[in-house]
Amino acid sequence: MLHDMKPALADAATELGLALTEAQLDQLLTYLALIQKWNKVYNLTAVREPQAMLTQHLVDSLSLIPALRRHAKGQALRMMDVGSGGGLPGVVVAICDPSIDVTCVDAVAKKASFIKQVAAELALSNLHGEHSRVEALETPPFDVITSRAFASLLDFTTLTRQHLKPNTESGAIWLAMKGQHPAEELAALPSDLDVFHVEQLQVPGLDAQRCLIWIKPRA
Protein backbone atom coordinates (compact mmCIF):
# COMPACT_ATOMS: atom_id res chain seq x y z
CA MET A 1 0.00 0.00 0.00
CA LEU A 2 2.65 2.52 1.05
CA HIS A 3 4.83 1.76 -1.95
CA ASP A 4 1.94 2.85 -4.18
CA MET A 5 2.75 6.34 -2.88
CA LYS A 6 6.17 6.42 -4.50
CA PRO A 7 5.15 8.78 -7.34
CA ALA A 8 3.59 11.24 -4.87
CA LEU A 9 6.73 11.14 -2.69
CA ALA A 10 8.98 11.64 -5.72
CA ASP A 11 6.89 14.64 -6.85
CA ALA A 12 7.04 16.22 -3.38
CA ALA A 13 10.82 15.75 -3.23
CA THR A 14 11.20 17.34 -6.67
CA GLU A 15 9.04 20.28 -5.56
CA LEU A 16 11.42 20.77 -2.62
CA GLY A 17 14.38 20.75 -5.01
CA LEU A 18 15.62 17.32 -3.91
CA ALA A 19 16.86 14.81 -6.47
CA LEU A 20 16.34 11.54 -4.63
CA THR A 21 17.35 8.19 -6.08
CA GLU A 22 14.95 5.28 -6.51
CA ALA A 23 16.76 3.55 -3.67
CA GLN A 24 16.27 6.53 -1.35
CA LEU A 25 12.56 6.74 -2.20
CA ASP A 26 12.25 3.01 -1.46
CA GLN A 27 14.09 3.44 1.85
CA LEU A 28 11.79 6.30 2.89
CA LEU A 29 8.70 4.22 2.17
CA THR A 30 10.18 1.17 3.93
CA TYR A 31 10.83 3.41 6.94
CA LEU A 32 7.22 4.58 6.86
CA ALA A 33 6.10 0.95 6.69
CA LEU A 34 8.24 0.20 9.77
CA ILE A 35 6.56 3.06 11.65
CA GLN A 36 3.19 1.65 10.67
CA LYS A 37 4.21 -1.91 11.64
CA TRP A 38 5.65 -1.05 15.05
CA ASN A 39 3.37 1.84 16.01
CA LYS A 40 1.25 -0.21 18.39
CA VAL A 41 4.30 -1.54 20.21
CA TYR A 42 6.35 1.65 20.34
CA ASN A 43 3.60 4.33 20.26
CA LEU A 44 5.51 6.29 17.63
CA THR A 45 2.78 8.50 16.15
CA ALA A 46 -0.86 9.44 16.53
CA VAL A 47 -1.11 9.78 12.75
CA ARG A 48 -2.25 6.43 11.30
CA GLU A 49 -3.71 7.17 7.86
CA PRO A 50 -1.09 6.39 5.17
CA GLN A 51 -1.54 9.57 3.09
CA ALA A 52 -1.40 11.73 6.22
CA MET A 53 1.73 9.88 7.37
CA LEU A 54 3.37 10.51 4.01
CA THR A 55 2.68 14.26 4.11
CA GLN A 56 2.92 15.03 7.82
CA HIS A 57 5.95 12.82 8.51
CA LEU A 58 8.05 12.18 5.41
CA VAL A 59 7.42 15.28 3.31
CA ASP A 60 7.42 17.61 6.32
CA SER A 61 10.81 16.21 7.36
CA LEU A 62 12.13 16.45 3.79
CA SER A 63 11.50 20.21 3.92
CA LEU A 64 14.45 20.54 6.34
CA ILE A 65 17.00 19.08 3.95
CA PRO A 66 17.49 22.03 1.56
CA ALA A 67 18.33 24.23 4.57
CA LEU A 68 20.78 21.66 5.94
CA ARG A 69 22.53 21.42 2.58
CA ARG A 70 22.82 25.21 2.29
CA HIS A 71 24.39 25.30 5.73
CA ALA A 72 26.76 22.37 5.05
CA LYS A 73 28.15 23.87 1.82
CA GLY A 74 29.31 20.42 0.79
CA GLN A 75 30.98 19.58 4.08
CA ALA A 76 30.13 16.53 6.19
CA LEU A 77 28.02 17.32 9.27
CA ARG A 78 27.24 15.69 12.61
CA MET A 79 23.62 16.33 13.53
CA MET A 80 21.63 15.65 16.69
CA ASP A 81 17.86 15.23 16.45
CA VAL A 82 16.44 15.85 19.93
CA GLY A 83 13.21 14.30 21.16
CA SER A 84 13.29 12.37 17.93
CA GLY A 85 10.45 9.97 18.75
CA GLY A 86 10.08 7.71 15.74
CA GLY A 87 12.99 9.44 14.01
CA LEU A 88 11.47 12.55 12.48
CA PRO A 89 13.27 14.34 10.93
CA GLY A 90 16.50 12.47 11.77
CA VAL A 91 15.89 9.21 9.91
CA VAL A 92 14.67 11.08 6.83
CA VAL A 93 17.84 13.21 6.82
CA ALA A 94 20.05 10.13 7.24
CA ILE A 95 18.37 8.40 4.29
CA CYS A 96 18.52 11.41 1.98
CA ASP A 97 22.01 12.68 2.79
CA PRO A 98 24.72 10.10 3.62
CA SER A 99 27.19 12.95 4.33
CA ILE A 100 25.20 13.88 7.46
CA ASP A 101 25.85 11.66 10.47
CA VAL A 102 22.62 11.67 12.50
CA THR A 103 22.13 10.84 16.17
CA CYS A 104 18.47 10.60 17.24
CA VAL A 105 18.04 11.15 20.98
CA ASP A 106 14.93 10.24 22.92
CA ALA A 107 14.23 9.78 26.62
CA VAL A 108 11.88 6.85 25.86
CA ALA A 109 13.84 3.60 25.53
CA LYS A 110 11.39 1.98 23.09
CA LYS A 111 11.72 4.90 20.66
CA ALA A 112 15.53 4.84 20.74
CA SER A 113 15.36 1.06 20.17
CA PHE A 114 13.15 1.64 17.14
CA ILE A 115 15.75 4.02 15.64
CA LYS A 116 18.45 1.37 16.08
CA GLN A 117 16.17 -1.16 14.41
CA VAL A 118 15.58 1.19 11.45
CA ALA A 119 19.32 1.81 11.10
CA ALA A 120 19.92 -1.95 10.99
CA GLU A 121 17.06 -2.82 8.62
CA LEU A 122 17.90 -0.02 6.17
CA ALA A 123 21.69 -0.47 6.55
CA LEU A 124 22.19 3.19 7.50
CA SER A 125 25.69 3.48 8.99
CA ASN A 126 25.13 7.24 9.47
CA LEU A 127 22.11 6.77 11.77
CA HIS A 128 22.35 6.21 15.53
CA GLY A 129 19.72 5.96 18.27
CA GLU A 130 20.51 7.13 21.82
CA HIS A 131 18.27 6.48 24.82
CA SER A 132 18.94 9.37 27.18
CA ARG A 133 17.63 12.61 28.56
CA VAL A 134 19.47 15.03 26.32
CA GLU A 135 20.96 16.99 29.23
CA ALA A 136 22.53 13.78 30.60
CA LEU A 137 23.92 12.52 27.28
CA GLU A 138 27.69 12.19 26.97
CA THR A 139 28.73 12.70 23.38
CA PRO A 140 31.13 14.77 21.27
CA PRO A 141 29.56 18.10 20.23
CA PHE A 142 27.53 18.52 17.06
CA ASP A 143 27.54 20.88 14.05
CA VAL A 144 23.74 21.06 13.96
CA ILE A 145 21.09 20.34 16.57
CA THR A 146 17.53 20.07 15.32
CA SER A 147 14.10 19.29 16.72
CA ARG A 148 10.58 18.91 15.46
CA ALA A 149 8.01 19.53 18.21
CA PHE A 150 10.44 18.71 21.04
CA ALA A 151 9.98 21.68 23.39
CA SER A 152 9.91 25.46 23.57
CA LEU A 153 12.85 27.21 21.91
CA LEU A 154 14.16 28.19 25.36
CA ASP A 155 14.13 24.60 26.63
CA PHE A 156 15.48 23.28 23.34
CA THR A 157 18.51 25.58 23.34
CA THR A 158 19.13 25.42 27.11
CA LEU A 159 19.03 21.62 27.35
CA THR A 160 21.26 21.06 24.32
CA ARG A 161 23.72 23.94 24.52
CA GLN A 162 26.51 21.77 25.93
CA HIS A 163 26.20 19.57 22.82
CA LEU A 164 26.69 22.35 20.24
CA LYS A 165 30.21 22.86 18.95
CA PRO A 166 31.73 26.15 20.15
CA ASN A 167 30.50 28.62 17.57
CA THR A 168 33.57 30.79 17.18
CA GLU A 169 35.06 28.71 14.36
CA SER A 170 32.60 25.95 13.64
CA GLY A 171 29.50 27.89 12.60
CA ALA A 172 27.43 25.40 14.60
CA ILE A 173 23.70 26.15 14.74
CA TRP A 174 20.33 25.09 16.06
CA LEU A 175 17.57 24.47 13.52
CA ALA A 176 14.12 24.26 15.13
CA MET A 177 11.16 23.12 13.03
CA LYS A 178 8.00 24.95 14.11
CA GLY A 179 4.45 25.52 12.90
CA GLN A 180 3.30 29.11 13.14
CA HIS A 181 5.86 31.87 13.76
CA PRO A 182 6.64 31.39 17.50
CA ALA A 183 6.85 35.05 18.53
CA GLU A 184 6.46 34.43 22.27
CA GLU A 185 9.06 31.67 22.28
CA LEU A 186 11.50 33.88 20.39
CA ALA A 187 10.96 36.71 22.86
CA ALA A 188 11.82 34.36 25.75
CA LEU A 189 15.29 33.48 24.42
CA PRO A 190 18.30 34.93 26.27
CA SER A 191 20.26 37.82 24.76
CA ASP A 192 23.36 35.69 24.14
CA LEU A 193 21.54 33.77 21.42
CA ASP A 194 21.18 35.14 17.90
CA VAL A 195 18.04 34.22 15.94
CA PHE A 196 19.55 35.11 12.59
CA HIS A 197 16.88 33.73 10.26
CA VAL A 198 13.25 32.65 10.38
CA GLU A 199 12.59 30.71 7.18
CA GLN A 200 9.08 29.99 5.97
CA LEU A 201 8.82 26.42 4.74
CA GLN A 202 6.44 25.35 2.00
CA VAL A 203 5.60 21.69 2.55
CA PRO A 204 4.00 20.13 -0.55
CA GLY A 205 0.51 18.84 0.20
CA LEU A 206 0.39 20.30 3.71
CA ASP A 207 -2.19 23.02 4.37
CA ALA A 208 -0.53 24.40 7.48
CA GLN A 209 2.10 26.94 8.39
CA ARG A 210 5.65 25.71 8.86
CA CYS A 211 8.81 27.63 9.65
CA LEU A 212 12.44 26.91 10.46
CA ILE A 213 14.17 28.90 13.19
CA TRP A 214 17.94 29.37 12.72
CA ILE A 215 19.75 30.13 15.99
CA LYS A 216 23.40 30.47 16.97
CA PRO A 217 25.24 31.65 20.08
CA ARG A 218 26.45 35.22 19.86
CA ALA A 219 30.21 35.52 19.46
DSSP state letters, 3-31? GGGHHHHHHHHHHTT----HHHHHHHHHH
Nearest to 65 by CA among 30, 27, 94: 94
Cross-strand partners of 173: 144
Residue 118's Cβ-side half-sphere holds a number of Cα atoms within 13 Å equal to: 37
Its CATH class, for the domain covering 62-217, is alpha beta
pLDDT (0 to 100) of residue 167:
66
pLDDT (0 to 100) of residue 130:
97
pLDDT (0 to 100) of residue 68:
96
Domain boundaries, given as residue ranges, for the chain = 62-217
pTM for the full predicted model: 0.96
Pinpoint the alpha helices (H) of 43-178. Answer: 50-53, 60-62, 65-72, 90-96, 109-121, 153-160, 167-170
Q: Where are any strands of DSSP class E within 120-185?
A: 127-131, 144-148, 173-178
One pLDDT digit (tens) per residue for the chain, 219 residues: 677 899 999 999 999 999 999 999 999 999 999 999 999 888 888 888 889 999 999 999 999 999 999 999 999 999 999 999 999 999 999 999 999 999 999 999 999 999 999 999 999 999 999 999 999 999 999 999 999 978 999 999 999 999 999 866 679 999 999 999 999 999 999 999 999 999 999 999 999 999 999 999 997
